[in-house]
Amino acid sequence: MQVRCRKAAGRTAALATALRLSFAADWKCATGALVTFGLRPLALVLCVYGIQVQLDAVGRRDTTAMVLAAGFVAATTAVALFTGWLNARFVATLIESTSRHLDQQLMRLMAGVTGIEHYERPDYLERLELLRDERRMLADTVDTIGLALAALVRLVGTGVLLVAVAPVLVALPLLAVPSIVIGLRTERARQKVLAEATTQHRRAEHVYGLSTSARAATEIRVYGLDSFLMRLADSAWQRGSAALDRSALRSTVFNALGWLIFGLGYLCALALVLSSYLAGGVTLGQVVLTLTLMSTVNARMTQVVFSLTKLVRTLPVADRYRWLERYSADRLRTERARTTRQPPTRLAVGLSFRGVRFRYPGSADWALDGLTVDFPAGATVALVGENGSGKSTLVKLACQFHRPAAGRVELDGVDLDRIDPVAWRARVSALFQDFARLEFEARETVGAGLLDHIDDIDAVRTALRDADACSVVDDLPDKERTPLGRSFPDGSELSGGQWQRLSLARSVMRRNPLLLLLDEPTSAIDVDTEHALFTRYLAAAKEIARDSGAVTLVTAHRMSAVRLADLIVVLSGGRVVERGTHDELVAGNGLYAELFALQARAYR
């Protein structure tokens, strides 16, 4: 009993959440939609009753009653037509408003969580993807409830009028109850199967996206991967769809049995009314009324089943939205209780890692395993190591994207965990290996690095100059005001290296950061250009460091960039294995010297 009560409470809360979104988006349209959903079917039932009265008046040759009944039919028809038109307007406006409001809420909730754990845990990611894919169902909640309400109002009105003809006819709508129960149960079963099929469908969507992306087009053609990808996507889709098809077949069989019960009841009711008319027990108007209403009972019950089934599909979506609200609120509450400090105006000591251990959700291996290292204030530090050594993870922890499982990250001796992450990131400038291609106007693509100056052309040009990216913008048709990317019909498409240069320019928009992060910043440009860019960028970083004591962290594979750093830290297995200058590490004949020699031979 307690389990059932909890489930019922959960469904009620999910339904309330879905309704709350619609009323928050546009309470006037939501109220108007529900009211008109109720008025229109009531007017239609009264219209049918008016037709019965009119037919009976014709039989009695009562002209006055005929005229009054005709006027009543006309009035109820007009009300039904007007409320139907009004309802369509309310619903269309409400769905659009709710969709926009929901997208804004999802963006707020997703961005409001300062960490990125929900992007890296498969179970969280699955919930988020289902919510993103099915969010339109939440926008349709009032429409779905309204359709069920309209069908129920019409069924109640139908039942009242049928009882007046023959009390036993009230059982006709009740015969459709098995269909409703079966429909709801089969839909709940379908939801469980849907959750299992999502993983396979997500795999198929990934392969589809890969096969249609511009970035993968060249390799797909060179290696002849088109047929292979089609088979892979088709196989994943079929595995996910097979379970859904079996569930749909079971649903069809059980629903057919439910409607068979109703069909037999319909035939019995029809025989009862016709025999009563032949015996003189009911009038012609009542026969017409009964036949008209009976013919709509099936449609109304179908509408109830359809609406309730759709509502059952909506509840898991609302549950996922509630989960995201709770997850976001819990994280924010925890952060507010924990973070009581603001970052310093200027770094005096620097950034330090003390015995830091961290591993990603679902992984058994430590990405960082007892990492201890100091990054002095004002220094440019290069992080070197093979793939999987922990370089990018170190960068993520420095940005407070994750919290250490053990140990501390310190900023001037203060636990970074106690510093407000939003305030800290306002003092961080970063270019990541998987940088975002912001398809805006060129000035906005760069200016997004400092939103207060996104329209400041002088600040944008300064950032472009520091990133050696002026030529990228100067070659565009409308310079800084040129739209970039395929999302614009007249957008200019850039090469990978050009996008990376603009991203680098975006990273230097902030003039007083305490931490500058460059995670593989020059992977898309050639060696000579890289050396010139690094020389220029590090000179700008030195100027910033003189004012703020900023630490610059660079992760790179090319040693031509690394050797320009003040300090080189070599990582392996999530630990520091070497540190020093380029000359010191080469003379030490350790891992760095080995990596440097390998790369030097590659360029000979």
Please give the pLDDT value at position 225: 62
Distance from C-alpha of 45 to C-alpha of 370, rounded to nearest angstrom: 75
Instruction: Assign 375 a pLDDT band (cuts: 50, 70, 90).
Output: very high
For the stretch 484-507, pLDDT in tens is 877 777 778 887 778 888 888 888
* Among the listed residues 437, 234, 243, 420, the one whose alpha carbon sits nearest the alpha carbon of residue 336: 420
Higher pLDDT: 462 or 198? It is 462
Query: What is the C-alpha to C-alpha distance for residues 470 and 384, in angstroms, rounded to an integer?
Result: 30
301 three-state secondary structure: helix
CB atoms < 10 A from the CB of 541, how many? 24
**Predicted confidence (pLDDT) at residue 603 exceeds the cutoff of 60:** no
pLDDT, tens digit (0-9, with 9 covering 90-100), for 295-333: 677 677 777 777 777 887 788 888 888 888 888 888 777
23 closest CA partner among 147, 134, 142, 159: 142
> H/E element holding 357?
strand 350-358
Model confidence at 385, in pLDDT bands (50, 70, 90)? confident
Give SS3 for 409.
strand
pLDDT at 259 over 80: no
* CB 361 within 8 Å of CB 119: no
Q: Are 429 and 141 in contact (CB under 8 A)?
A: no
DSSP state, 305?
H
Round to whole Å and give the CA distance between 122 and 125.
5
Q: Residue 214: its pLDDT value, please?
A: 62
Question: Which pLDDT score is estimated for 354?
Answer: 93
Local structure of 419: helix, strand or coil: strand
- What Cα–Cα distance (Å) separates residue 366 from each residue in 87, 351, 575? 58, 21, 10
Please list the residues that pair with 419 across neighbouring strands.
341
Highest mean pLDDT among 178-192, 205-219, 566-580: 566-580
Q: What pLDDT score does 284 carry?
A: 73
Collapse the DSSP code of 518 into the 3-class scheme (helix H, G, I; strand E, B; otherwise coil) and give the result: strand
Distances (CA, A) of 412 to 330, 395, 537, 563: 28, 17, 25, 26
**Residue at 9: amino acid letter:** A
9: left (phi over 0), alpha (psi -120 to 50) or beta: alpha
Name the DSSP letter for residue 493.
P
Question: Are 481 and 441 within 8 A, CB to CB?
Answer: yes
The closest alpha carbon to 440, from 495, 499, 509, belongs to: 499
The predicted structure's pLDDT at residue 353: 93
Q: Looking at the predicted structure, is the pLDDT value of residue 449 above 70?
A: yes
Q: Residue 17 — pLDDT band, cuts 50, 70, 90?
A: confident
Whole-angstrom CA distances from 581 to 180, 249, 563 are: 75, 69, 8
Question: CA-CA distance, 577 to 373, in Å (whole number)?
Answer: 10
8-state DSSP, 389: S
Least confident of 128-137, 164-173, 428-437, 461-470: 164-173
Asked if 114 and 400 touch (Cβ cutoff 8 Å), the reply is: yes
Tell me the C-alpha distance between 601 and 593, whole Å.
Answer: 12
Per-residue confidence band for 374, with pLDDT thresholds at 50, 70 and 90 = very high
> If you write DSSP's letter for every residue of 74-103 in order, what string do you get?
HHHHHHHHHHHHHHHHHHHHHHHHHHHHHH
Average pLDDT, the chain: 79
Per-residue tokens: 205? 């969507």
Question: Rounded CA gap, 136 and 562, in Å?
Answer: 49
Spatial separation of the C-alpha atoms in residues 17 and 141, rounded to whole Å: 10
Is it the case that residue 604 has pLDDT exceeding 60?
A: no
Q: Measured between alpha carbons, how far is 305 from 10 in angstroms, rounded to an integer? A: 21
What pTM does this model have? 0.68
Q: At what angle do helices 122-139 and 177-212 cross, to 10 degrees?
A: 120
Give the integer Cα–Cα distance in Å for 502 and 508.
Answer: 10
The answer to whether 338 touches 419, Cβ cutoff 8 Å, is no
| pLDDT for residue 183 is more than 90 | no
CB 19 within 8 A of CB 141: yes
Q: Give residue-wise pLDDT tens across range 539-594.
A: 878 888 888 888 999 887 767 677 788 899 988 888 988 888 888 888 888 888 88
Q: How many CA atoms lie within 13 A of 232 on its CB side?
A: 15
Question: What single-letter amino acid sits at 478?
Answer: D
CB 312 within 8 A of CB 14: no
Pair 538, 573: CB distance under 8 Å:
no
Select the more confidently predicted residue: 288 or 425: 425
pLDDT confidence of residue 556: 74
β pairing state of 515-519 and 551-555: parallel
What pLDDT score was predicted for residue 530?
Answer: 67
Distances (CA, A) of 460 to 442, 453, 483: 9, 8, 15
Per-residue pLDDT at 336:
74
Residue 523: per-residue pLDDT: 55
pLDDT for the residue numbered 218: 59
**Over the stretch 243-258, which tens digit does the pLDDT of each residue have?**
777 777 777 777 777 7
pLDDT tops 70 at residue 119: yes
Angle, alpha carbons 110-114-118 (nearest 5°)? 55
What are 457-475's pLDDT values in tens digits? 888 898 888 888 888 888 8
The pLDDT of residue 222 is 58
Closest CA to 141 of 90, 95, 203: 95
